[in-house]
């Protein structure tokens, strides 16, 4: 059986997992169930709770594909940890692309990428492993979204932007053309980014400035 025909197990049973499951159901992919450490969780959109993570490990890596249903609010650390844990044991993560997303045919899409409803990804862009382009986000031409980065709902990223590994761009933020967002950085919701953001920095506001700069200005 080729990889794209293998059944899917979703890791996580929260809101992000629910949205992913809905997209998978729209594309008629077979989902065996989901795993979550919260054993009391009910079925998700009619799909059963298989147990904790150990339930996924009862399936051989070449017999299933995984979907990372762990979301991220301001930090992508937990989501990346889940991906790394299973990848180290040779499990493969399926790409999930909602049928309503608009993705140029030239876009490079790595393993485990998730492109949600209404998102747009333009020509020349590259999406690294386990990255999310969330609901209604727009990624213009020639952007690089590195592994594990999260482009939250409603974000606008203009052409030629690079977003470093594990960075989080908050809901509704705008990043103008040619900007570099450093690895592990956080852009606050609604921010307007008009200059580069160093690695590991949190910026907020219009125009976006670092938390330390805003404190100094006071």
- pLDDT tens, N- to C-terminus, the chain (218 residues): 456 689 999 999 999 999 999 999 999 999 999 999 999 999 999 999 999 999 999 999 999 999 999 998 878 899 999 999 999 999 999 999 999 999 999 999 999 999 999 999 999 999 999 999 999 999 999 999 999 999 999 999 999 999 999 999 999 999 999 999 999 999 999 999 999 999 999 999 999 999 765 554 44
Residue 67 forms part of a structural domain? yes
Do 100 and 198 fall into the same domain?
A: yes
Q: How far is CA 15 from the centre of its chain?
A: 13
- Total domain count for the chain? 2
Residue 140 forms part of a structural domain? yes
Residue 217 forms part of a structural domain? no
Q: Of 39, 58, 93, which one is at a domain's C-terminal end?
A: 93
Residue 83 forms part of a structural domain? yes
Asked whether the CA dihedral 28, 124, 147, 197 is positive or negative, the reply is: negative
Residue 212 forms part of a structural domain? no
Side by side, the strands of the sheet bearing 138-139 are 102-103, 120-121, 138-139, 156-157, 174-175, 192-193
Give the count of beta carbons closer than 10 Å to the beta carbon of residue 206: 12
CATH of the domain at 41: 3.40.50.20
How is residue 5 annotated by DSSP?
G
Do 110 and 159 fall into the same domain?
A: yes
The pTM for the full model equals 0.94
Residue 216 forms part of a structural domain? no
Q: 87 lies in which domain range?
A: 3-93
Residue 49 among the catalytic residues:
no
Q: Of 78, 93, 108, which one is at a domain's C-terminal end?
A: 93
Which of 16, 59, 98, 141 is catalytic? The answer is: 141
Q: Of 93, 122, 153, which one is at a domain's C-terminal end?
A: 93
C-alpha to C-alpha distance for 14 and 166, rounded to whole angstroms: 20
């Amino acid at each position: 059986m080729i990889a794209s025909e293998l059944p899917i197990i979703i890791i996580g049973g929260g809101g992000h997992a629910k949205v992913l499951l809905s997209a998978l159901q729209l594309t008629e992919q077979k989902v065996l169930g989901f795993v979550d450490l919260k054993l009391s969780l009910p079925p998700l959109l009619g799909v059963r709770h298989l147990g904790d993570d150990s339930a996924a490990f009862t399936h051989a890596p070449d017999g299933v594909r995984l979907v990372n249903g762990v979301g991220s609010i301001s930090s992508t650390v937990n989501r990346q940890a889940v991906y790394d844990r299973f990848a180290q044991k040779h499990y493969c993560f399926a790409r999930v692309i909602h049928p309503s997303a608009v993705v140029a045919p030239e876009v490079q899409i790595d393993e485990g990428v998730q492109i949600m409803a209404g998102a747009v990804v333009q020509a020349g862009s590259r999406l690294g492993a386990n990255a999310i382009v969330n609901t209604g986000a727009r990624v213009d031409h020639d952007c690089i979204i590195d592994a594990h980065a999260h482009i939250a709902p409603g974000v606008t990223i203009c052409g030629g932007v690079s977003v470093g590994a594990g960075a989080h761009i908050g809901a509704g933020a705008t990043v103008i053309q040619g900007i570099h967002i450093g690895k592990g950085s956080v852009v606050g919701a609604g921010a307007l980014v008009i200059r580069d953001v160093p690695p590991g920095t949190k910026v907020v506001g219009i125009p976006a400035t670092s938390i330390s700069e805003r404190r100094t200005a006071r």
